[in-house]
A and B are shown apart, each in its own frame.
Chain A
Amino acid sequence: GNSVTQMEGPVTLSEEAFLTINCTYTATGYPSLFWYVQYPGEGLQLLLKATKADDKGSNKGFEATYRKETTSFHLEKGSVQVSDSAVYFCALSDNNGNKLVFGAGTILRVKS
């Protein structure tokens, strides 16, 4: 079945540093790809998505590009803030469109 691999955390950065969180996937067919963010004590929120190859999703300064040739969907942000500290999940849709499959999550800690 479809699966997602994320870089292990925690990732610790200083404020205003550049962020990359790697995500690669294995899939048959043409899945959609998502990034979700979970702030402490809260549920997951959709951060951005891409539904086909070469699409770029973007939101709140974060962006990720659906790369079919490298089966990747890396999350980037040019300048992180303390308020970005959270757990970030990469996910992809299954072939039936019935569910999302999530990666293990990457903890991001941003220091002031």
Chain B
Amino acid sequence: DTAVSQTPKYLVTQMGNDKSIKCEQNLGHDTMYWYKQDSKKFLKIMFSYNNKELIINETVPNRFSPKSPDKAHLNLHINSLELGDSAVYFCASSQGGVQFYGYTFGSGTRLTVV
């Protein structure tokens, strides 16, 4: 049983297209996150939801829109894809304050925009 699962694992698409990445966790955690990892491995937080409520919305182009239908799911929709959106996107979840348990990460979605 995968704790935090993301689909798809790989996504290759053309500039200008719209795509979605899905994330599901079966840990019963209240909080979920999206991070972007660039080619130099740098991790940048994008969004966080706690019990379906948006609590972190970093400086991200408004082409990126998260949606959380319930606390076990957090999806990321990207409009009008650009070359610079190519990266690995990680979903993560946590329970309670992160200072106690940290995150559980998914295995990532590698997005390539051509």
- Of all chain B residues, the one with the shortest Cβ separation from A44 is B105
- Of all chain B residues, the one with the shortest Cβ separation from A102 is B43
What string of 1s and 0s marks CB contacts (under 8 Å) between B78-114 and chain A? 0000000000001010000111101111111000000
Query: Is B45 an interface residue when CB atoms closer than 8 A count as contact?
Result: yes
Query: Is A99 an interface residue when CB atoms closer than 8 A count as contact?
Result: yes
Given A43-B107, A100-B103, CB of A93 within 8 Å of CB of B45:
no
A binding-site residues for B, Cβ under 8 Å: 31-32, 34, 36, 38, 42-46, 49, 51, 87, 89, 91, 93, 97-100, 102, 104-105, 107
B binding-site residues for A, Cβ under 8 Å: 4, 31, 33, 40-43, 45, 48, 55-56, 90, 92, 97-100, 102-108
The contact sample of 29 A-B pairs, CB cut-off 8 A, is A32-B102, A34-B102, A38-B41, A42-B107, A43-B4, A43-B90, A43-B105, A43-B106, A43-B107, A44-B90, A44-B103, A46-B102, A46-B103, A51-B99, A51-B100, A87-B41, A93-B97, A93-B99, A98-B48, A98-B97, A98-B98, A99-B98, A100-B98, A102-B43, A104-B40, A104-B41, A104-B42, A105-B41, A105-B42
